[in-house]
Amino acid sequence: MKQNGFTLVEVLVALLIFALIGAAGVAVMGSTLTNQERVRAHVDRYTELQRARAILKADLSQAAARRTRGEDGLPALTAFAGGSPWGGGGPILAFTRRGWENPDATARASLQYVEYVLVEGRLERRARPALDGARLGPPQVLLRDVRAIEPAFLSAGAWTPAWKGDPQSDIPAAVRLNMQLTDLGQIDQLFLTSGEGR
């Protein structure tokens, strides 16, 4: 008499095939999730870079030839400074910008003093709440994992590594920032300013 059903060997082979298909599915899903995390990290990094570029572009295109006074009350030597023009450390860029938005209609100037500094691998933007005599506010981190930034300033058709003004203009015609990023390597950014020398 013939019996209907599967033998033990057939059941074991079927289970082995299902286990192999399941293991392959888990491997594919793991690889997909890993790739998705990598893509998300790259997208986040490029978003951070584009946001930093947009802020720099907005600030530099609104640069104003207006000198300010520091927290100590002493006047700045120039309206626009960059690249440590007097030696020693200091901000990469320091200047006054126009067009500071005022949605609350508070009593303050539409000009704002801003400076960009590199602190422990972070490009930070700092600003004063008042144009003269105020202390710098908390930093806004624009970019992380920055090894170095080398600025250059265009005036009268020539690039210089530092800026403290020249006889033709208080503001350079353009600013170039050569940035060394840990993960992306060298990024060269060029920004036009409001300078009269263009």
User: Are 56 and 139 contacting, i.e. CB atoms less than 8 angstroms apart?
Assistant: no
**Residue 61 buriedness (CB in 10 A; 0-12 / 13-18 / 19+):** middle
Q: How many CA atoms lie within 13 A of 112 on its CB side?
A: 19
Cα gap 96→136, rounded to integer Å: 13
- How much is the average pLDDT of 133-144? 93
List the structure tokens of 150: 């080398």
Exposure string (b/e) for 17-55, b if CB count within 10 Å is 16 or more? eeeeeeeeeeeeeeeeeeeeeeeeeeeebeebbeebbeb
Q: What is the pTM of this model?
A: 0.77
The pLDDT of residue 3 is 67
**Which residues lie below 8 Å from residue 35, measured CB to CB, with a gap of 6+?**
none
In this predicted model, which residue has the larger pLDDT, 1 or 11? 11
The closest alpha carbon to 195, from 79, 67, 76, belongs to: 79
Task: Let me know if domain 1-144 sits in CATH 3.10.610.10.
Answer: yes
| pLDDT digit string, tens, across residues 30-72 | 888 777 788 888 889 999 999 999 999 999 999 998 888 888 8
pLDDT of 197 over the 50 cut? no
> SS3 letters for 25-82?
HHHHHHHHHHHHHHHHHHHHHHHHHHHHHHHHHHHHHCEECCCCECCCCCECCCCEEE
C-alpha 64/C-alpha 76 separation (Å) is 14
Report the C-alpha gap between 164 and 171 in whole angstroms.
Answer: 9
- In whole numbers, what is the pLDDT of the chain averaged over residues? 86
What does the alpha-carbon distance between residue 64 and residue 95 come to, in Å, rounded to a whole number?
7
Q: Where are the alpha helices (DSSP H) in the chain?
A: 8-61
- Please tell me the predicted confidence (pLDDT) of residue 145: 94
